[in-house]
Structure 1
Amino acid sequence: MAPAGASAGPAIPAPAGLTSTDVSFPGFGGLTLHGTVLAPAKAGTPRPGVVLVTGSGAGVPRDHLLTEATEFARQGVATLIYDKRSVGYSNFRRSYSELADDALGAVRALRARPGVDPAKVGVWGLSEGGWVAPLAASRSTEVAFVIVVGGNAMTPIRQQLWNETSSLRREGVSGSVIDHGKRNFTRLGGDAGLFAEAYFDAEGVLARVRQPLLGVWGARDLQTPPEDNPPLFARALRRGGNTHYTFRFFAGADHGAHESPDGGVTRGPALAPGYAELVGSWVRDVTSGRLPNADAPTPPQQDDPSIEAPPSAWWESAWTQLAAFVLFVVAFTAYPLVALVRRLRGRRTRPVSRWARLLAGGGLAAVIGVFFYLFYLMAAGRSPDPGPVFAGRPLPWLALQGLAVAAIAAGIATAVAWRRTAARVPRGERVRLGLLLSGGAVFLPWAFYWGLLLP
């Protein structure tokens, strides 16, 4: 018996001039998924069809894509939308392979519908679906064509990094908090397994796609780099010998090719003018054998370039960062804790240097503060509030940079003082100071790596 999926969503009434038919089909692992097929009410020759694959999120309901499904159906294309799985999908665990199998289950269901030409059924993918739809097509000759909207031919971690850093730049942020802090924290999450499918090989998948492909981007896409991705798509497709692709760009449109009243920040309810008509005519052409040949105009300019985010080297890996963090906690807390224990026992010891306290306190505060602040920015996603910004630097980041500089200066002063009084320092105090200064020595390159000592 196949496992049941999420309960079917509410029925979708048939829009004017269309029919609405509920369907169920097995996805990956036999999970039952539920959807709706919208098609022209007027009978005629078997028509082409398309399965819509939504973007990120667990259990996204089918009506999220109702506008697209309605407009495509009015162009004569039978369109299947379905409730996305929540089983096996979360922020920390998802599989594009499983989602591709779900999409292929939907393709088979649509191919079996009366009035649909089974040889003319393709897949359409939005955002995350732009990784999933080509993967599904690369696995099955049953898929006749591929459409991606706001799609990426780069790794998910590179796209996400661009998404988040672009949001910060729009808030006036620049410099090391983006170029070092944000970038390295994102890579750390990917290395630690906290970013599902972080290094998915999008170009490798596209190189295996043999079907014609339509790529659509809004010129004001704020989530996916609309300038960087089209050349990557073309390069990957051509590497696999596929030149049957068409790229189109819609001025003023957002990530999903919807009209946007404010430059891509807010999604309007309507599709960009001409977008649905493009899909209808392109599908009719390619399913009739009229294939495009590398039709790729110059893409729109994006505000900021995306940057590579490769897996970390061993010296910056999650395990190395964890080891450094443990050293900092031990080294910077041991110094004041030992002093507290001595005081409680009535054994006061004159410190070698009062700067040591600043090294311990400032170093620990900077280490903990960096991770808390960068985690906060990550959690804020596309709606960050970095705090007051001065000359491109958020006030919390400036404070952390000040702590780092103070801690390093204090470490140097402590080392100098210890050298001057080394002969008079008791053995126990030498151990305490040695541990503290070891933490300070590692803190210096660590602070450079995270951008605390950079403009």
Structure 2
Amino acid sequence: MLSILRRIILLTIMITVAGLPAAHAQHTTPVDIAFPRADGTTTAGTVHAPAGATGRPGVVLVHGSGDGSGEHYDRVAEAFARAGIVALRYDKRTEGYTPAHRDYALLADDALAAVAALRSRPEVDPARVGLWGLSEGGWVAPLAASRSTEVAFLITIGANSIAPAAQQNWANETRFRTAGVRGSMVDVLARNGIRQLVSAGQFAQAGYDPIPVLERITQPVLAIWGDQDRLTPPGDSLRGFQLAFERAGKTNYTLRTLANAQHGGQPTTDGFDKLPGLVPGYGELMGDWVNGIPGTAVPPVADKPAAQGHSARALSPASWWETTTVQLTLLFGMILALAGYACTGMVGSWRLPDRLPARVLWCTVVLGIAGTIVQLGYILTTRATSFGPLLFGRTLPWLALQLLALGAVVALGVVLARARHTLAGVSIGARTRWTLLVCGGTGFVLWALYWGLLLP
């Protein structure tokens, strides 16, 4: 009798365990693989699968910007695997990948090669393999999905419905505005810096428009944003996705906003820092949604867009006089004029009798040019969120540059006003030096206006 009772209990336990939903899977097994890309090269990847999985849904993780390394992708892959979904993380193509050269179409081909590799695995159901894209992957993964019927679904996190240049400008503005910075340093210097990168061909895919791609996607879509995202405008992007899908008549989508989450779905205190792990509910949301397709994708669901400090703005193309060629010509012209003025001062007969205004003008222009270049480089290369003490909403270095620019304008005015007195009876060489100085000073005033030094 006892033996029969034990068998009944054991059978009951086995049936109960077998009937547990896949979302409760705890043990995962990573397996390293290699697979060919469309261009004939080979890349490596790691498959994260629930132990003993067969016929499960699968998902390919598509990277954000950079080299695609980092523990975050492993966390996401493990979250999928614990939900009973086989995840493939593959090595991102980094050869030839720079800020000045990146090809979303080529990266999309790589993602589709990874989909083909995962579909061939015994752990997965080839009819249920989809894509997950983070940040830059939010441009690449939708493009891949729009090109292939073999992609069963699409998930994005921190994706944009705007062009990369506009997104980067919004991110820069957000960093400064959050720190309390106001005025031309944000509205002019940072914005024109990005436009110059675009004009110079140093910002690849800057004008990429994701909307036509979103309108072509027929697969179920789960798009997620953190309400504290400081890299992608989460509210604007959610609205952009929803409008694109509505125009296309799409009904199988879910747009969600995660509370207290940053750009990649990690917990955060202010949107800039990253606390360990994934924000509560993120992994469960994706797992339940994938395991429940198609029912979980219809009817369409859209959360309230996250609040933003300001909306993203499109970047207007540079006019002819704003192009990098013209700006560099002006810059080098100023440098040559100022260098010519300084060098010819060694000739005694070429020196100007009224030297103080000229010296003030030369010094303020030289310091203004050098300081602006340093400040612009800092803005475009740093991700700092604190900029030191502020005065009138300006950082102290920027305020100093604005004062230098104002001093240069005053000095130029004095030099021009006293031209008749200064040039009376002087040599041709002195007149040439004066002309060089005035040309350099006038060029600087135009340059300072463009870069915001003379704007509020």
* Aligned counterpart in structure 2 of residue 304 of structure 1, from 300, 310, 335: 310
Equivalence for 1:284? 291
- CA RMSD across the alignment: 2.1
Equivalence for 1:354? 356
1:302 is aligned with what amino acid?
Q
**1:87 maps to 2:102:** no
- Is residue 60–residue 85 contact of structure 1 (8 Å, CA) maintained in 2? no
Question: Which of the pair has more CA radius of gyration?
Answer: 2
**1:373 maps to 2:359:** no
| 1-structure distance, mates of 2:270, 2:157 | 17
SS of match in other structure, 1:434: helix
Could you tell me how far 1:92 is from its partner in structure 2? 3.0
* Aligned counterpart in structure 2 of residue 210 of structure 1, from 198, 213, 218: 218
Equivalence for 1:436? 437
SS of match in other structure, 1:30: coil
Equivalence for 1:415? 416
SS of match in other structure, 1:99: helix
Matches within 5 A, 1:63-212: 63-212=71-220
- Is residue 353–residue 418 contact of structure 1 (8 Å, CA) maintained in 2? no
- Is residue 124–residue 147 contact of structure 1 (8 Å, CA) maintained in 2? yes
Q: Could you say if the C-alpha distance between residues 29 and 167 of structure 1 is closer, same or farther in structure 2, counting changes exceeding 3 Å?
A: same
| 2-structure distance, mates of 1:403, 1:236 | 48
| 2-structure distance, mates of 1:440, 1:363 | 7
**1:389 maps to 2:390:** yes
Equivalence for 1:49? 58
Equivalence for 2:69? 60
Cα deviation digits, residues 310-343 of structure 1 (max 9, x gap): 3311111111111110111022222122112x04
Could you tell me how far 1:53 is from its partner in structure 2? 1.0
* Aligned counterpart in structure 2 of residue 335 of structure 1, from 322, 341, 356: 341
- Is residue 142–residue 154 contact of structure 2 (8 Å, CA) maintained in 1? yes
Q: Given the two structures, how large is their TM-score scaled by the length of structure 2?
A: 0.89
Equivalence for 2:326? 320
Equivalence for 1:269? 276
Equivalence for 1:454? 455
| 2-structure distance, mates of 1:204, 1:114 | 35
Q: Which one is further off, 354-363 or 203-212?
A: 203-212
Q: Which one is further off, 146-155 or 301-310?
A: 301-310
| 2-structure distance, mates of 1:240, 1:248 | 20
Equivalence for 1:223? 231
Equivalence for 1:9? none
* Aligned counterpart in structure 1 of residue 48 of structure 2, from 38, 48, 54: 38
- Is residue 153–residue 219 contact of structure 2 (8 Å, CA) maintained in 1? yes
SS of match in other structure, 1:249: strand
Cα deviation digits, residues 287-329 of structure 1 (max 9, x gap): x466424422221102333222233111111111111101110
Q: Which one is further off, 174-183 or 89-98?
A: 89-98
Could you tell me how far 1:208 is from its partner in structure 2? 2.5
Could you tell me how far 1:417 is from its partner in structure 2? 0.8
Q: Could you say if the C-alpha distance between residues 349 and 78 of structure 1 is closer, same or farther in structure 2, counting changes exceeding 3 Å?
A: closer
Could you tell me how far 1:161 is from its partner in structure 2? 1.9
Could you tell me how far 1:275 is from its partner in structure 2? 1.7
- Is residue 150–residue 221 contact of structure 1 (8 Å, CA) maintained in 2? yes
SS of match in other structure, 1:354: helix
SS of match in other structure, 2:266: coil
Corresponding pairs, count:
432
Equivalence for 1:3? none
| 1-structure distance, mates of 2:91, 2:234 | 28
Equivalence for 1:27? 37
Cα deviation digits, residues 19-70 of structure 1 (max 9, x gap): 33222112242221111222222556x2221111121112526x54111111
* Aligned counterpart in structure 1 of residue 253 of structure 2, from 245, 259, 263: 245
2:450 is aligned with what amino acid?
Y
| 1-structure distance, mates of 2:53, 2:399 | 67
Equivalence for 1:7? none
| 2-structure distance, mates of 1:291, 1:16 | 25
Q: Which one is further off, 199-208 or 106-115?
A: 199-208
4+ residue segments displaced more than 6 Å: none
SS of match in other structure, 1:34: strand
| 2-structure distance, mates of 1:359, 1:105 | 61
1:274 is aligned with what amino acid?
G
Q: Could you say if the C-alpha distance between residues 426 and 239 of structure 1 is closer, same or farther in structure 2, counting changes exceeding 3 Å?
A: farther
| 2-structure distance, mates of 1:278, 1:348 | 77
| 1-structure distance, mates of 2:220, 2:418 | 72
Could you tell me how far 1:145 is from its partner in structure 2? 1.2
SS of match in other structure, 2:201: coil
1:356 is aligned with what amino acid?
A
| 2-structure distance, mates of 1:95, 1:257 | 25
Q: Which one is further off, 77-86 or 301-310?
A: 301-310
- Is residue 353–residue 414 contact of structure 1 (8 Å, CA) maintained in 2? no
SS of match in other structure, 1:222: coil
1:251 is aligned with what amino acid?
A
SS of match in other structure, 2:115: helix
Could you tell me how far 1:423 is from its partner in structure 2? 5.0
Q: Report sequence identity in percent.
A: 45
**1:400 maps to 2:397:** no
SS of match in other structure, 1:397: helix
2:281 is aligned with what amino acid?
G
Cα deviation digits, residues 102-139 of structure 1 (max 9, x gap): 11111001111114221211100011111110111111
